[in-house]
Amino acid sequence: MTTIFMSNSSEGAAMKRPVMLFLSILMLPPSYAETPRQWDGDYASTKTSYLMYSGSLSEKEPPRAGSQKLSLMIEGSLAKELFDSLGANQKQACGASTGVRIRQRGDVTCAYDHEIKSAPYTCFVGLDLKTGKSMPGETC
């Protein structure tokens, strides 16, 4: 496990801390095993992609200090586990159609698309890095 030490000497360093944390998580090797693993209390790797931006997701702009947001896209076995944990399918969800099932709770949205054989499960979650609060990670 990698530990990152950062100084609190400046406001700029404080802004970089969440970004460095997420980048270190994303650099972990992806897990392609689709069989459930036995719970052991340790962190597991996963396939995750990210988008850093400013503005809104529908009208995203390059990230600017003080207004950065992060959208995480999770795929693979973790996405399936999240999808299974979110409860019932959303009947009127944006993007839902024949063969596409959407589940959502709070700011976590997951989809199952039976036509995508290699990675049918995808989840999104977002973070406002200025406030540290979660937010939707995708648009319809």
pLDDT of residue 27: 45
Domain extents in the chain: 11-30+46-135
Q: Is a pLDDT exceeding 50 seen at residue 25?
A: no
Please compute the mean of the pLDDT values over residues 120-139 and round it to a whole number.
Answer: 96
Checking if the pLDDT of 102 tops 90, the result is yes
Give the pLDDT of residue 36.
63
Tell me the DSSP string of the chain: --------SSHHHHHHHHHHHHHHHHTSPPP---SPPPP-SS----EEEEEEEEE-STTEE---TTS-EEEEEEETHHHHHHHHHS-SPPTT-TT-BTTEEEEEETTEEEEEETT-SS--EEEEEEEETTTTEEE-----
Reported as a single tens digit per residue, the pLDDT across 38-61 is 889 999 999 999 999 999 999 999
